[in-house]
Amino acid sequence: MSQMQLLRAADYPRMPWKNGAGSTLEIARDQGEGLEGFGWRLSIADIDQSGGFSAFAGYQRVITVLEGEGMCLQVDGVASRPLLPFDPFAFAGDSRVACQLLAGAIRDFNLIYAPQRYSARVQWLALERSQRLFTSAATLLLFCAGEALQVRLGDADCALLGRHDCLQVERGTDLVELQLQGSAAGVCCLIELTPR
C-alpha cells in the first residue's frame, strides 16, 4: 500500500544555511530536525553570489541548477565542468566546496543523503512526450521543474503537480509502473531512495 504526500512549493519552510551565508527552502526529509539527524533531505537554495558551501560530513550530495545561467564548483581544489540547468553533479558532503557563478544569481536543487543508510538514484527527465518507467524503490520523490506534471502510479492517478511542487511516495519494494505526463518542454526529477 502506497502512502502519498503532495508537497506544494508555496508551503516549503525557509531554513538558514549551515554556514549562515544564505537560506534554503526545504522540500522534504525522512526524519530529524534543523540540519541534523536526517537520512535524506531535499531542498532548493538561492545563490546570489559566489562563495563556499556548507559541509555535511557523512553525506553524499547531488546538486542541479534549476534557474539561472549556471555555476562551476571547486571540490577539494578540483574544478567541476560548468554546471548548466538540469545537469546534476554529485560530490561528498564533507568536501571543501566553493561555487563560482557563471553569470548572476541561480537557484539550485539539492539531494543530501546518507549513503550508509540509503541507496539513491537521481534522474532528470524531459517530458516532450509521456514517460513510462518501472521502479521498485521504497521512496519516490517526483519534482516538477516545468509548469505541470501528471503522475500515475500503477493503475491509479496520483497527483497533478505545479511548478516546483513535489510528490513523495512511500511504498513497498515490489515493481510498479510509473507514468509521467508533463507540459510541452517540461522537465521533472525522479529520485528513487531505498534503505540499505
User: From CA 75, how far away is CA 94, in angstroms rounded?
Assistant: 10
Among all chains, which residue has been given the C-alpha cell 502510479? Answer: 153
Q: CATH number of the domain at 118-195, please?
A: 2.60.120.10
Closest by Cα among 15, 53, 19 to 33: 15
Write down the domain spans for the chain.
11-113, 118-195
Tell which CATH architecture fits domain 11-113.
Answer: Sandwich (2.60)
| CB neighbours of residue 88 within 10 Å | 15
Closest by Cα among 54, 59, 67, 60 to 19: 54
User: From CA 108, how far away is CA 64, in angstroms rounded?
Assistant: 6
Looking at residue 20, what is its pLDDT?
67
End-to-end CA separation in angstroms for the chain: 20
Q: What tens-digit pLDDT sequence spans the chain (196 residues)?
A: 679 999 999 999 998 777 766 788 999 999 877 677 899 999 999 998 899 898 899 999 999 999 999 999 999 999 999 999 999 999 999 999 999 999 999 999 999 999 999 999 999 998 877 889 999 999 999 999 988 999 999 887 778 999 999 999 999 889 999 999 987 678 999 999 999 9
Could you tell me the pTM of the whole model? 0.93
Instruction: Decide if 11-113 and 118-195 have a common fold.
Output: yes
User: From CA 152, how far away is CA 54, in angstroms rounded?
Assistant: 36
